[in-house]
Structure 1
Amino acid sequence: MADQTVRLQELIDEINRHNYLYYTLDKPELSDKEYDVIYDRLVALEKETGVIMPNSPTQRVGGDILKGFEEHKHAARLWSLDKAQNRDDLMAWHARAQKLVDQYNAAHEDDPLPPLSFVVELKFDGLTLNLTYEGGQLVQAATRGTGSVGEGILAQVRTIRSIPLQIPYKEGVIEVQGEGMMFLSVLEAYNKATETNGKETLKNARNAAAGALRNLNPKVTAERKLNAFIYNIGYADSLQFADHKEMVEFLRNNGFKVNPYVKFFDSIEAVAEELEHMAAQRSSFDYLIDGGVVKINDMRTRDVLGYTEKFPRWAVAFKFEAEEAMTTLLSVSWEVGRTGKLTPVAKVEAVDLAGVTVQNCTLNNIGDIERKNLKHALGSLVYIRRSNDVIPEILGKVTEENDGAEITVPEACPACGSALEQRGAHIFCPNKLGCRPQLIGRITHFASRDAMDIDTFSIATAEQLYDELNVRDTADLYYLQFDQLIGLERFGEKKATKLLEAFEKSKDCDLASFLFALGISNTGKTTTKVLADHYRSLDLLMQATKEELVGLPDIGDIVADSIVSFFADPLMRESISRMLAAGVKPFAEEKAAIANADNPFNGKTVVLTGTLQTMGRDEAAKKLEALGAKVTGSVSKKTDIVIAGESAGSKLAKAQELGIQIIDDEQELRRLLGYQE
C-alpha cells in the first residue's frame, strides 16, 4: 500500500506539472493523447486503492450539486478602486498621492519614502476571486461580495485548471486575489459545440464566467473551461514584500498564472502613454478588459498612503472610453413615467459591448429621434455607444437614406388609452388618476431614499399595493392596516410589521425631503431645498405666488409655474391634507445663525468633491449653507471655492484649470467651518 501511495503522489506531481505547463505557461510538453494516458493511470490507481489525495487533478471535474453558497469572511478586505475616466483624472490622482508623500517626507527627513514609481496592469472584466491557502493547500475560494464577506465557491474554482490546488509556500495562511474569466476563443468554441447540439449559446464571456462560478452544479462550471489570472496577495501571516515586482515574482514562483502585461514606470506621464497604448490594443487580447489598473510600486509607500473609506489611495482604475458598435434597430416602445411623460426606448438586435449584452437603448424624445435621422430607421443599421455603466444610447443611422420603417409617435397613452398632449419637446399622458405606470412611479418615488426614505419599499411593493389593495395615491400608504398587508402574497407577519413601522418612521420628515417626495414637475433636490430654506413652512409655500417664487435663487418662470400649478391642483391639495391628517409632519431644520458675516464662505458659490474623512458631504454642505454659502454640484467660472476631499477627480482638475480657490486640507476646512477641535 505504501508503494501505491508513493506512486499516486508521483502521478499527481507529474500531471500537475503538465497542467502548469499547459494552463499557466502555455508551453505544453505532451500531446493530448500522451497526457490522457498518464491521467488514466491515476484514475485507475485511485479506483484500485480507494485513496484520493486532496490535490489530485481528478478532483477538478466537478462533484455533486450543492445546496447553496455559504458566506465566507475574508481575512482582509477586498477594496474597490477609485476610477479615472481620462488623463486629467489620472493626473489629479497622482497629485494627491505626491502631496501625501511630500508631507510624509517633510516630517520624516531621516527615513523618507522613495520617489513615486508605478506598475500598470490590465483591468480584467470577469469575476473577482479570493483564494485562501493554508499550509500550501487551497482550502477556500470566494467571490468578492461586499469586500468583507463573499460567497464560498471552492467546488467551482477547483475546476479551473490554471489555479493550483497546492503551492510550495506552506507558511501559514495567505489569501490571493485574481479574476476568473472565460477566454473569448473558448467561448467561441463552446458556442459552436452548443449550436451543433441544438442548445442555447452563451451571450458573452463575462456573463458566461460569472454564471459558471455561481452555478450550484460544479460540473457546469467545469464544462465552461474557465481560466484565471492572479494579481495580488491580500493577506499573509508572515509574508512581506518590498515592492509589487517582488510580489509578482512570488506569485509566479508558486505556480499562479500571472498575466504577462505587468509594466513598470518611473513617471506618471509614461503611465498615461502606456494606458493609451493599452486602449489601442484592447481588442487584441483573448479576454475582456475594460481598462487598466495603476498602482504605486513601493509597498512602504502604500502603507503610508493607506485607504479612504472606499478605496486605496495608492491605486486607481483607468476606465476606457465608451465603446461603439453597429446593430439593427428592431423596434421603439414608449414608456410612461411618474410625471406622465412618455420616453421612447429602442430595442436593438443583441450586441456585445465590453462584455455586456445590449438590447435596449435610450432615446430622449421625438426631437432626438429626428435629429439623429432615426425617423425612418426601423430595421436599419444604427451606431450605439455604451459608456461605463450608463444606459446605452443610439448615436445615429449608419446610412443617410430613409431605408427603414417609420417610428410612429403614439396619439394615445399605451398604458391607459388617454389622448396625449404635446408639451414642449415631450408628450404626456394627462390621466394622473387612472394611468397605472404614473401612479406606481409616483408612489415609488415618494418612498425612495432621497424622498421619504421608507425602508424595505420597492417598485414591486408599489405594484402589489396598487393591484391588490387599490393604493392610488401616496397618502393611501399611511392608511394601510396590518390585516390588509398580512393577506398579501409574500407578506408574512414580519414583513408587514416592518413596512408599517417604516411608514410610521417616515412621518417625521424634513420639509425639503417631503417636497422632493411630492414630485413637483421641473423640481429636484436643489430646488426643493431652496423652497424649504426660504419658506420654512408648508402652508406658506402652498400660498406662494409666481412673483414671489421667481425671486428665489435658480427658480425661473417655468419652475415657478410648475410649483404654483401643483399646489393649486385640488387633487394634490387633498393628498397633502390626508397625509397631514395621518400624522405626517414635515419640519424645517433649524437654520444656524451666521456668526460672522465676514466668514470666507458667506455669499460664495462652493462645490464639494471627493470623500471627507471626518464628516459627510451632506454635513459639510449644511454647515456651508448655514454660513451663507451656495453649494452647487458642478464647477464653472461662477464657482468661488472647491473643497476637495479624498479621491477628488475631474471637478478638482477643472478647478485647477480655471484657477479656482481649492481647499484640500480637511483640518483647515473644519477650522473655517467653526468646529471646535
Structure 2
Amino acid sequence: MPGDISVERLTEAQAKAELARLAEALAEADAAYHTDDAPVMSDAAYDALKARNRAIEARFPALKRADSPSERVGAAPAEGFAKTRHAQRMLSLGNAFSAEDVAEFDARIRRYLGLSDDAPLAYTSEPKIDGLSLSLRYEHGRLVQAATRGDGEVGENVTANARTIKDIPETLAGAPVILEVRGEVYMSHEDFEALNARQAAAGAKSFANPRNGAAGSLRQLDAKITAARPLRFFAYGWGEISAPLSDTQMGAIDRLAALGFVTNPLTRLCDGPDALLAQYREIEQARATLGYDIDGVVYKINDLDLQARLGFRSTTPRWAIAHKFPAELAWTRLEAIDIQVGRTGALSPVARLAPVTVGGVVVRNATLHNEDYIAGRAATGGTIREGRDIRVGDWVQVYRAGDVIPKIADVDLAKRPDDAAPYVFPTTCPDCGSEAVREPGDAVRRCVGGLICPAQAVERLKHFVSRAAFDIEGLGAKQVEAFYRDGWITEPADIFTLRDRYGPGCLTQLKNREGWGEKSAKNLFEAIEEKRKIPFGRLLFALGIRHVGEQASTLIARNYGTWGDFTEAMDSARDMDGPEWERLLGIDGVGAVMATSLVQAMTEPHERAGIDRLVAHLEVEAAAAPDTSGSPVAGKTVVFTGTLERMTRAEAKARAEALGAKVAGSVSARTDILIAGPGAGSKAKKAADLGVEVIDEAAWLALIGAA
C-alpha cells in the first residue's frame, strides 16, 4: 500500500493516488468531527495523515490538489447556524511560558502606567479552561442570544443550544439592562467518560476528548442532542454592559456568581508576580485532580479603571495574559536540515524529523531559527545549550509551547553518530544561486537576488493574496505557485491583468486546468474584480515591505490618509532628511529601521515601478479615521514633551490617537498643539518660533474633557 511506503520512495503516480486517498479520508474525518460530532479517528491518527499529506505535497508540489487538506481548517460551518456580530470583540490572550515572562508582563504594565516597582498592583489569577468560548447576551435580565467566539468579530448563533446548559441562567435578577457574559463551555472528565460509555452502549461513536466533545455538542443543529450532552459553563468575564458590575475584576466575578453564574472557585487575588507564580504552581499541582481540562492560568489586572487605561493591542488586551503550562517534550532523530527562502529573502533552516508525537500532535518538522542557533551561539554572543551544536543524525529534544511552531530545545551528545559533521550554513541561495549575506547586527542571512529569486517572488505573491492582505477568494498559496510556475502571474499587477492578457480564451484555459472547472474559474475572476477596491492600509501591508506589518500599515495609512499623499511623502523623504522624513519618524510606533525600509521600498526604481503598475488597476480607499465625532482634537497633529504628571507618555499618546489626533515625535510647521510638561526644552522653543500653540498638561486634559 502507498501509505506503507516512505514519502522519499514514492513514485509520482503513487503520490498522486495517495493524495487523493488522504484528501477523501481527511474530508470524511473533518465532517465527522466538526459537523456530525462523532470523530472517526483519534487526534494522533488524524494528525499523522495530515502530516503525511503535507510531506507528499512538499516533495511533489505540482500534485497539490485544489481540495488539499493542508489548505483546509475544520469543515464548512453548519448551514443551520446564523452568523452574529459581537457588540464587543472577543479577543485572544497573549501567552507567558516562564517566570521571566510573568515578571516582564508586570514590568510592562508598570512602565505603561508609570508605576514604580514597589507600588501596589493587584491581579486576579484563574485556571484557563480548555473548552469553547461563548458569549451570552442578556437584555432586561433575559437571555436573548448566545454566540461562539468565531473569528472574534463574528460568531455562530447557538442560542437554542445554550439554553439547554444547566449552568446558564435563563433570567437574571438585578442585572444591568444589557449584560454580555463571557465564559467557557466544557465537559468534566467524569461526564465525558459517562457520555462515551452511553455512546458505546448505544453502538454510537465515542468522542476524542472532553474539549472536542463539548465543542461538537454545542454546535449540534438539533438542540435536543445538545440537551442530552453533559455540558457545563464557567463565567469569567463580560463584553458589552450598560452599567458596571464592580470596580474590580474580583468584585465583578463575585457579582456574576451572585447573579447565578458558576465561576471558578480557584480564582484568587494576588499582589504581584511572586503571588501569581505561587498560585500557578498550586493550580499546576492540582491539575490532575480538578476533574476538567485546563492548559494554564490567566492573570488579569484587578482594578477595572487600570484595565481601561491599559486598553488593548490589535488582538489582545494589555491587562491580561495566559501563563501556559510547560511545553510538551519528546526526543527524536534529526534526519535533515532544509533551507526555506522567505519573501524578504531570509534563509530559514527547518529540521526534518523522524515523526514523533508531542502533546497529541505528530511532529515531523521544527524550526531551527538561524545559523547561530544551529551552532549553539546566542544572539548576544554567548552560548545556548552550553555550546552544543545541532547536526544531522542527532537525537534531539522537541517541544511545543501553546500553538507555536515546534522547536528543538537540546541535543543528546551521547547518541551522536560518529560520522555526524557540523552543519555548514549556505552562503548562496538554494533557489536562485545569488549570494546570501548576513548584515551586521542581523541574525538572519538573506538572499540578495530580490525580484530574480523565484522563492522570494512566490512568497511575496503568497503574502499579497493572504487573508490580511488582498484575500482573493480562490487564489491561495497553491494556485499562486501553479500560476507563477506557468508564467501566468509573476508580480501582483499580473493578477489584475490576467484576463486582459489572455483574452477571451483565458476562462477556457483556466477551466481546463487540473482542479478547475467553469464555475470555479468564473468565481476567481469575479473575486479579482471585487478586490480592485482596497483599503489603503491593506494595500500597504500586502506589498510585503520588510519590517512593515499589519498594525504598522494601518497606523501609517491613518497618518497619511490617502495613497497619493503617502507616495508624494515617500518621494520627498527619499534622501532620509527634511520635513517628510521627520514626519514619518514622528509617527508613534515608526522607528528608523521601519522608516528606512519603507522609504527604500517606495523609491527604489524597480520596486516602485511594480507598485505603480499594480495601483494603476486599483481603487485605493482612503484610510478610515476613528469615530471622533465631537472630538476637539480630531485631525490635529500633537506633540508631547517634558514630564507628564497625570499620565505616562504611552497613555497620553494612546488617548490622543483614540480621539483622532495624530501624535508626532517632533515639532514642525504641521504641528497644531505642543503639550509641554516640566522640563520641556528645545521642542517648546521651536514651537514658539513656529507659532505653534503650546499648552500644559492640565489644559490638554481640560481640552479633551479628561480633567
TM-score by length of 2: 0.52
Of 390, 397, 402, the residue aligned with 2:411 is 397
How many angstroms apart in 2 are the aligned matches of 1:415 and 1:220?
A: 55
Q: Which amino acid in 1 is paired with 2:321?
A: A
Q: Is the alpha carbon distance of 1:292 and 1:377 closer, same or farther for their aligned partners in structure 2, counting shifts above 3 Å?
A: same
Of 498, 512, 516, the residue aligned with 2:530 is 498
How many angstroms apart in 2 are the aligned matches of 1:597 and 1:137?
A: 48
Tell me by how many angstroms 1:290 deviates: 2.4
Is 2:279 the partner of 1:261? Answer: no
Tell me by how many angstroms 1:363 deviates: 0.9
Is 2:85 the partner of 1:67? Answer: no
Of 341, 350, 368, the residue aligned with 1:345 is 350
Report 1:403-414 matches (<5 A).
403=417
How many angstroms apart in 2 are the aligned matches of 1:307 and 1:597?
A: 20
Q: Is the alpha carbon distance of 1:193 and 1:622 closer, same or farther for their aligned partners in structure 2, counting shifts above 3 Å?
A: farther
How many angstroms apart in 1 are the aligned matches of 2:295 and 2:488?
A: 49
How many angstroms apart in 1 are the aligned matches of 2:223 and 2:428?
A: 48
| SS, match of residue 624 in structure 1 | coil
Q: Which amino acid in 2 is paired with 1:294?
A: K
Report 1:202-601 matches (<5 A).
202=208, 206=211, 209-210=214-215, 213-214=218-219, 226-232=231-237, 256-264=261-269, 267-268=271-272, 271-272=275-276, 274-278=278-282, 280-281=284-285, 283-284=287-288, 285=290, 286-296=292-302, 302=304, 306=308, 310=312, 316-317=320-321, 319-320=323-324, 323-329=327-333, 331-332=335-336, 333-346=338-351, 349=355, 351=357, 360-371=365-376, 373=388, 375-376=390-391, 378=393, 380-386=395-401, 390-398=404-412, 400-403=414-417, 423=437, 436-445=454-463, 456=472, 460=477, 462-463=480-481, 465-466=483-484, 470-474=488-492, 476-477=494-495, 479-481=497-499, 487=507, 489=520, 491-492=522-523, 494-502=526-534, 517=545, 536=571, 576-577=608-609, 580=612
Contact map agreement 1:474 1:575 (CA 8 A) in 2: no
Q: Is the alpha carbon distance of 1:501 and 1:491 closer, same or farther for their aligned partners in structure 2, counting shifts above 3 Å?
A: farther
Tell me by how many angstroms 1:402 deviates: 0.4
- Identity of aligned pairs, percent? 24
Q: Which amino acid in 1 is paired with 2:408?
A: I
Q: Which amino acid in 2 is paired with 1:500?
A: R
How many angstroms apart in 1 are the aligned matches of 2:537 and 2:148?
A: 40
| SS, match of residue 106 in structure 2 | helix
Residue equivalent to 1:130:
135
How many angstroms apart in 1 are the aligned matches of 2:248 and 2:287?
A: 30
Q: Which whole-Å deviations, capped at 9, do the CAs of 1:486-506 have from their partners, x for residues lacking one?
A: 83635546423223344xx87
Q: Which whole-Å deviations, capped at 9, do the CAs of 1:402-440 have from their partners, x for residues lacking one?
A: 059969879999986x66866459777787677653321
Q: Is the alpha carbon distance of 1:313 and 1:473 closer, same or farther for their aligned partners in structure 2, counting shifts above 3 Å?
A: closer
TM-score by length of 1: 0.53
| SS, match of residue 654 in structure 2 | coil
Q: Which whole-Å deviations, capped at 9, do the CAs of 1:324-356 have from their partners, x for residues lacking one?
A: 522435654432323555422235545555x98
Q: Which amino acid in 2 is paired with 1:499?
A: K
Q: Is the alpha carbon distance of 1:263 and 1:356 closer, same or farther for their aligned partners in structure 2, counting shifts above 3 Å?
A: farther
How many angstroms apart in 1 are the aligned matches of 2:454 and 2:197?
A: 45
Contact map agreement 2:248 2:304 (CA 8 A) in 1: no
Q: Is the alpha carbon distance of 1:118 and 1:409 closer, same or farther for their aligned partners in structure 2, counting shifts above 3 Å?
A: closer
Q: Which amino acid in 1 is paired with 2:395?
A: S
| SS, match of residue 531 in structure 2 | helix
| SS, match of residue 80 in structure 2 | coil
Structure whose CA Rg is larger: 1
Contact map agreement 2:358 2:399 (CA 8 A) in 1: no
Contact map agreement 2:84 2:155 (CA 8 A) in 1: yes
Of 94, 99, 102, the residue aligned with 1:86 is 102
Is 2:617 the partner of 1:613? Answer: no
Residue equivalent to 2:146:
141
| SS, match of residue 495 in structure 1 | helix
Q: Which whole-Å deviations, capped at 9, do the CAs of 1:160-190 have from their partners, x for residues lacking one?
A: 5x53565685988764332123456777898
How many angstroms apart in 2 are the aligned matches of 1:614 and 1:328?
A: 53
How many angstroms apart in 1 are the aligned matches of 2:114 and 2:345?
A: 51
Q: Which whole-Å deviations, capped at 9, do the CAs of 1:15-61 have from their partners, x for residues lacking one?
A: xxxxxxxxxxxxxxxxxxxxxxxxxxxxxxxxxxxxxxxxxxxxxxx
How many angstroms apart in 2 are the aligned matches of 1:376 and 1:620?
A: 51
Tell me by how many angstroms 1:261 deviates: 0.6
| SS, match of residue 613 in structure 1 | helix
Contact map agreement 1:433 1:472 (CA 8 A) in 2: no
Contact map agreement 2:88 2:240 (CA 8 A) in 1: yes
Q: How many residues align?
A: 508
Tell me by how many angstroms 1:128 deviates: 1.6
More deviation in 85-94 or 475-484? 475-484
Tell me by how many angstroms 1:538 deviates: 9.0
Q: Which amino acid in 1 is paired with 2:529?
A: T
Q: Which amino acid in 2 is paired with 1:292?
A: V
Q: Which whole-Å deviations, capped at 9, do the CAs of 1:547-580 have from their partners, x for residues lacking one?
A: xxxxxx979xxx99xx89x99xxxx966655665
Contact map agreement 2:148 2:156 (CA 8 A) in 1: yes
How many angstroms apart in 1 are the aligned matches of 2:420 and 2:186?
A: 42
Q: Which amino acid in 2 is paired with 1:325?
A: L
Q: Which amino acid in 1 is paired with 2:312?
A: K
CA RMSD of aligned residues (A): 6.5
How many angstroms apart in 2 are the aligned matches of 1:384 and 1:179?
A: 27
| SS, match of residue 612 in structure 1 | helix
Tell me by how many angstroms 1:613 deviates: 2.0
How many angstroms apart in 1 are the aligned matches of 2:113 and 2:444?
A: 47
How many angstroms apart in 2 are the aligned matches of 1:139 and 1:124?
A: 25
How many angstroms apart in 2 are the aligned matches of 1:252 and 1:599?
A: 46
How many angstroms apart in 2 are the aligned matches of 1:251 and 1:535?
A: 53
| SS, match of residue 105 in structure 2 | helix
Q: Which amino acid in 2 is paired with 1:384?
A: Y
Q: Which amino acid in 2 is paired with 1:68?
A: G
How many angstroms apart in 1 are the aligned matches of 2:536 and 2:252?
A: 51
Q: Is the alpha carbon distance of 1:238 and 1:361 closer, same or farther for their aligned partners in structure 2, counting shifts above 3 Å?
A: same
Q: Which whole-Å deviations, capped at 9, do the CAs of 1:361-419 have from their partners, x for residues lacking one?
A: 21124553343656446583514252x66534211124543059969879999986x66
